[in-house]
């Protein structure tokens, strides 16, 4: 019987990693790549080390380890695998359906689209700017048809044939993201700075970053009508739009580092004047 490998990269996930492991222990090939966590993540994982759970500690990087270290895919022993995050959970009944699907005779698909629920700040609603048009997401891939990139929010994809598991039993693959504002602010800073890596031309970068702000406004207030969620909706809209505002500011900073250079010049000038005054005063006292 074909099984499914599970692959995850983490950093400082002591609050969620144990529940995550318990949820994916059904896999006979659970691979956890720890980007040098500084909290208790490693201690928790080591309680579960087994022939079915591979733990690898690597140097920290904002980029996916697998993007620049392709040999990590040698750890994936099954034909099918799920690349996931610590924000993900899955109903066991849905896992059973996936297993039955890939073990169906003459199943000639390469990507499996499964029922999906995304919660942001504890809210899952069609009016949320983070919600999909359809509650399905590509989650299970044939290893040889998987495409990985270092583009943020576009890390994974496939050039293969897609199969959708219809949601007939209300069982889901859950993505529980941004549970509080502290995480939200931290991710905002990290991700918005990373977004700038794809830009070399300042004019193109400025135009695209500005367009993304207007797209975010359109999505929240016109496409998704997030305001219909009332107090929650206004907060979600601001949070969603603010990411693109932060990205614009990060792009601006990348190509306009006036703050650093101007402040260094002023500091150098002021300190030089200090030195001159001290020298002059010393000469006078002599």
CATH number, position 139: 3.90.550.10
- How do strand 146-148 and strand 136-142 relate by DSSP bridges? unpaired
pLDDT, position 286: 61
pLDDT, position 68: 73
pLDDT, position 150: 63
pLDDT, position 85: 93
Please tell me whether residues 103 and 220 are part of one structural domain. Answer: no
267 belongs to a structural domain: no
27 belongs to a structural domain: yes
pLDDT, position 64: 82
Q: Is 207 left (phi over 0), alpha (psi -120 to 50) or beta?
A: alpha
61 belongs to a structural domain: yes
pLDDT, position 257: 75
**Considering the entire predicted model, what is its pTM?**
0.87
Along the 286 residues of the chain, how does pLDDT read in single tens digits?
A: 899 999 999 999 999 999 999 999 999 999 999 999 999 999 999 999 999 999 999 998 877 888 778 788 899 999 999 999 999 999 999 999 999 999 999 999 999 999 999 999 999 999 999 998 778 999 999 998 888 766 665 567 788 899 999 987 789 999 999 999 999 999 889 889 888 988 999 999 999 999 999 999 999 999 999 999 999 999 999 999 999 999 999 999 999 877 778 888 899 999 998 888 887 877 666 6
269 belongs to a structural domain: no
Please tell me whether residues 171 and 186 are part of one structural domain. Answer: no
Residue at which a domain ends, from 177, 197, 232: 177
Specify the number of domains making up the chain. 2
Please tell me whether residues 90 and 224 are part of one structural domain. Answer: no
Q: Which domain does 158 fall in, by range?
A: 4-177
106 belongs to a structural domain: yes
Cβ-contact 279, 286 below 8 angstroms: no
Overall residue count recorded for the chain in this entry: 286
CA 108 to chain centre: 30
């Amino acid at each position: 019987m074909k099984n499914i490998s599970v692959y995850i990269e983490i950093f400082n996930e002591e609050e969620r990693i144990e529940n995550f492991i318990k949820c994916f222990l059904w896999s006979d090939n659970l691979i956890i790549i720890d980007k040098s966590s500084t909290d208790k993540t490693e201690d928790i994982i080591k309680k579960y080390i087994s022939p079915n759970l591979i733990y690898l500690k690597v140097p920290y990087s904002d980029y996916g380890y697998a993007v620049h270290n392709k040999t990590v895919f040698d750890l994936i022993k099954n034909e099918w695998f799920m690349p996931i995050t610590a924000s993900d959970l899955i109903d066991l009944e849905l896992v059973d359906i996936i297993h039955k699907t890939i073990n169906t005779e003459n199943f000639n698909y390469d990507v499996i689209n499964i029922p999906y629920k995304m919660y942001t700040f504890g809210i899952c609603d069609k009016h949320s700017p983070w919600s999909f048009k359809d509650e399905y997401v590509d989650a299970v891939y044939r290893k040889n048809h998987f495409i990985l990139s270092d583009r943020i929010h576009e890390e994974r994809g496939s050039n293969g044939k897609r199969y959708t598991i219809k949601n007939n039993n209300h069982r889901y693959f859950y993505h529980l993201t941004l549970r509080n504002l502290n995480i939200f602010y931290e991710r905002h800073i990290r991700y918005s700075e990373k977004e700038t890596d794809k830009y070399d031309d300042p004019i193109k970068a400025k135009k695209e970053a500005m367009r993304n702000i207007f797209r975010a406004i359109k999505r929240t207030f016109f496409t998704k009508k997030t305001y219909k969620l009332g107090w929650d909706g206004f907060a979600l809209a601001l949070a969603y739009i603010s990411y693109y505002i932060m990205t614009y500011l990060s792009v601006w900073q990348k190509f306009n580092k006036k703050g650093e250079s101007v402040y260094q010049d002023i500091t150098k000038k002021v300190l030089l004047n200090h030195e001159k005054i001290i020298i002059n005063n010393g000469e006078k006292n002599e």
